[in-house]
């Protein structure tokens, strides 16, 4: 579960955008961090709402309801705008193992039978009539 949760510094950046969760008589009304981790789990796994592990994130109906409420309130839009201004480049890595060029781009030999572009005849030859006298 280590890769499925927000680090403390990441949560600190997002905590100001989370609605609710203010301290009541018996503690916080809701756990926004747990909900956010549930949304990240769904996004990373591509699972359906019903597949959400209830022991870690609570009932899927609660998470689903809050998700759609946040969309209506524009919470995710505000979070995206704030995070987009200062991207976290921790996981960005591009090198030759990810981006590969075809062998021809490096001057390699072509495979047999591969189509080669043909030189066309003179530009005017295509428009000339080829009738028999």
The overall pTM is greater than 0.75? no
Q: What is the pLDDT along the chain (133 residues), one digit of tens a residue?
A: 455 678 888 888 888 888 765 565 655 566 788 888 999 899 888 889 999 998 888 899 999 999 999 899 898 888 888 877 776 666 666 565 555 566 556 666 666 666 666 666 655 555 555 556 5
Rounded to whole angstroms, how far apart are CA atoms 96 and 87?
23
Task: Tell me the three-class secondary structure of the chain, residue by residue.
Answer: CHHHCCCHHHHHHHHHHCCCCCEECCEECCCHHHHHHHHHHHHHHCCCHHHCCHHHHCCHHHHHHHHHHHHHHCHHHHHHHHHHHCCCCCCCCCCCCCCCCCHHHHCCCCCCCCCCCCCCCCCCCCCCCCCCC
pLDDT, position 12: 84
pLDDT, position 132: 60
CB count within 10 Å of CB 21 equals 14
| Nearest to 67, CA basis, from 52, 81, 55, 87 | 52
């Amino acid at each position: 579960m280590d890769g499925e949760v927000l680090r403390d510094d990441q949560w600190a950046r997002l905590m100001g955008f989370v609605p609710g969760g203010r301290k009541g008589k018996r503690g916080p009304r809701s756990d926004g961090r747990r909900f956010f981790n549930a949304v990240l789990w769904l996004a990373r796994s591509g699972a359906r709402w019903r597949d959400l592990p209830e022991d870690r994130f609570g009932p899927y109906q609660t998470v689903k309801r809050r998700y759609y409420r946040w969309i209506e309130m524009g919470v995710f839009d505000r979070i995206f705008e704030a995070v987009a201004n200062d991207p976290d480049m921790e996981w960005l890595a591009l090198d030759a193992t990810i981006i590969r060029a075809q062998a021809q781009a490096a001057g390699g030999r072509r495979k047999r039978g591969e189509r080669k572009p043909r030189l066309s005849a003179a530009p005017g030859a295509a428009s000339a009539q080829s009738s028999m006298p």
